[in-house]
Amino acid sequence: MWSFPDRGDWATHIGNYRGNWSPYIPRNLILRYTAPGELVLDQPAERESTYARRHTCVRPPEARLGMVGSGTTLVECKLLGRRVVGVDINPDAVMVARNRLDFSYAPLDADYVAPEIKTYVGDARSLDLIENESVDLIATHPPYASIIPYSHNREGDLSSVHNIAEFAQEMRRVASECMRVLKPGKHCAILIGDTRRSKHFVPITPRVLMSFLEAGFILREDIIKLQWKMKSTREKWFGKKYDFYLIGHEHLYVFRKADMDEKVTRFRESMKWW
């Protein structure tokens, strides 16, 4: 179980992008699952736009990451010396992320190499700018269906998908792309939460879990992430009094892609079972 009551406000992390994740999350994932210089992905896109090309910041070698939002993961990659690619469907988010990366960092650590950091406007369901099996870690944080709208019906924005079965189908496409771009034996982490509609619990997390297992991933971890200072409708209800429990946690699923020639039968209980 992970719980970060203070969120984390070092570097340029200010937490004012709705639904952003605490920098402790990508930081812990990066430290646990990658080595310096490796490539992290915060979910790529359809094709590199002129906009994206103009905003690509080239520095030393590679790493990649998806659904970049305000760039929390990118900032952590900069601090930890991991190459990274951040993709978001919304150009405004990519602008915010580039802005958050605009700080100088020169640690005393002699081994530190400033990493190459790339961003572009794109769709996590179609990562055709990212080569097959080129990524060391995917750390992704999609919208939780339509709980928080990130744009006004922008084409491809998953936060405009209200129907949960449809959302799970789209996440299945995201999962397939993750599977394609990830190197064998490497990890893909996704933070996802549930919601409540008509005063009843609506399970999103198990459907997203199944989407990733269906794409062939092996479940390595199911980390419960406690929520603090929630501002979304997951907390509020229009009524005089609450007659239900607030949803105070999310799931951070960590999946692994099987290694080349690895016999996966011993992991069958952690794989697609239906």
Ligand X SMILES: C[S@@+](CC[C@H](N)C(=O)[O-])C[C@H]1O[C@@H](n2cnc3c(N)ncnc32)[C@H](O)[C@@H]1O
Q: Which residues in this chain contact ligand X in the complex, by CB under 6 A?
A: 17, 19-21, 43, 67, 69-70, 72, 87-90, 93, 123-125, 141-143, 150, 156-159
Q: Which residue number places its CB atom closest to ligand X?
A: 69
Buried b (16+ CB within 10 A) or exposed e, 213-244: bbbebbbbeebebebeeeeeebeeeeeeeeee
- CB nearer ligand X, residue 70 or residue 195: 70
Complex with ligand X: residue 34 or 218, whichever CB lies closer: 34
CA gyration radius, the chain:
18
For residue 190, the cross-strand partners are: 140, 253
User: In whole angstroms, how close is the CB of 148 to ligand X at the nearest point?
Assistant: 7
Nearest approach, Cβ of 110 to ligand X (angstroms)? 30
Nearer to ligand X, 41 or 218 (CB): 41
Q: How far is the CB of 13 from ligand X (least distance, A)?
A: 9
Q: Which DSSP string corresponds to 105-161?
A: ---S-TT--PPPEEEEE--TT--TTS-TT-EEEEEE----TTSS--SSS-TT-GGG-
Closest separation in Å from C-beta 65 to ligand X: 10
Pick 29 or 209: Cβ nearer ligand X: 29
Please report how many Cα atoms fall inside a 13 Å half-sphere around the Cα of residue 66, on the Cβ side: 33
**Are 101 and 57 in contact, with CB atoms under 8 Å apart?**
yes
The pair of structure tokens assigned to 104 is 């100088």
CB of residue 233 vs ligand X: minimum separation in angstroms? 14
Q: Which amino acid is at 16?
A: N
Q: Among residues 87 and 209, whose Cβ is nearest to ligand X?
A: 87
User: Minimum Å distance from CB 259 to ligand X?
Assistant: 28
Complex with ligand X: residue 17 or 112, whichever CB lies closer: 17
